[in-house]
Amino acid sequence: MNFSLSFLVSFIALLPALVSAQPSEENDYGLCCMCGGCWHPIRGDLFITEDGGTCETVALEMAGLAQNSQRCREYKKNYRSDCCDRNANPIPVAQQEPEDFVPNLPQGDEPQCDICKDGGFPGYPKIVTKTLYMEGHQTCEQLYHMGNAGHILRRLCWPMQDAYQEPCGCGPFHPQWKGDSGGADQCLGFREDCSRDSDCCDGLTCGNKSRRCRPKKNRNTA
């Protein structure tokens, strides 16, 4: 047997193994997968929808679709390259500005959830977040007030605390953090007693009568 024929026979013998090693669109669970072979997106934090959806959160939404459905095919067509292709150079989708938020929420049914573990006000209150199982998108400031008023599900509290400590500027990630004495000691959060504006965290001011930190008023609001 000459070299060419020997190589061809060897290649044919190895072909089943090579094919089985390639990512497959089909899977035993019937999941709609963002990436081939159901691999995790390599750009999990990339914004791909204007309402805060990232490759990671959209991939989780896709998992609830049938793998051969029209919606699944549309998702893969729109997002697979940006989220899964190492050679792609995607541009993050610009995010919508969140609606004006009034912190006077009615008391909810859930226990209090401090978005910052130390109970402090977020150092980056205007950062926009997107949380699985929560409708729309919220700023860190909105999550702070929602948590205080019992509007964050108990089962989401600690995962959100872990996820948002750095992006929201909590504890040692707070821009006014000065050491290990505790992030909440560096500036005062909403409704905490204060003596002057500089006592309060960014986005808050010391009330003239209440002497408690409160959100700054919008000068354009009557």
Q: What is the pLDDT of residues 169-198, one digit of tens each?
A: 888 788 777 655 444 445 666 666 777 777
Confidence at residue 221, expressed as pLDDT on a 0 to 100 scale: 35
Token pair 């108990």 is at which residue? 154
- Choice between 50 and 71, residue whose per-residue pLDDT is larger: 71
Asked if 75 and 58 touch (Cβ cutoff 8 Å), the reply is yes
Task: Specify whether the CB–CB gap between 125 and 138 falls below 8 A.
Answer: no
Count, residues in the chain:
222
More confident residue, 83 or 31: 83
CA distance linking residue 63 with residue 34, whole number of Å: 8
Mean pLDDT, range 32-45, rounded to an integer: 87
Identity of the highest mean pLDDT range in 75-89, 123-137, 198-212: 75-89
Q: Quick one: tokens of 178?
A: 């000065």
Give the range among 29-38, 98-107, 155-164 with minimum mean pLDDT: 98-107
pLDDT of residue 202: 67
- List all residues 6 or more positions away from 110 whose beta carbon is below 8 Å from its beta carbon: 150, 151, 152, 153, 154
74 backbone φψ class: left, alpha, beta (φ>0; ψ -120 to 50): alpha
Containing 163, the helix (H) or strand (E) segment is helix 154-164
Q: Name, of 48-52, 150-154, 206-210, the range with top average pLDDT.
A: 150-154
- pLDDT above 50 for 23: no
Query: Would you state the pLDDT for residue 132?
Result: 83
| pTM flag (> 0.95) | no
Residue 123 makes CB contacts below 8 A (sequence gap 6+) with: 168, 169, 170, 173, 174, 175, 176, 177, 201, 202
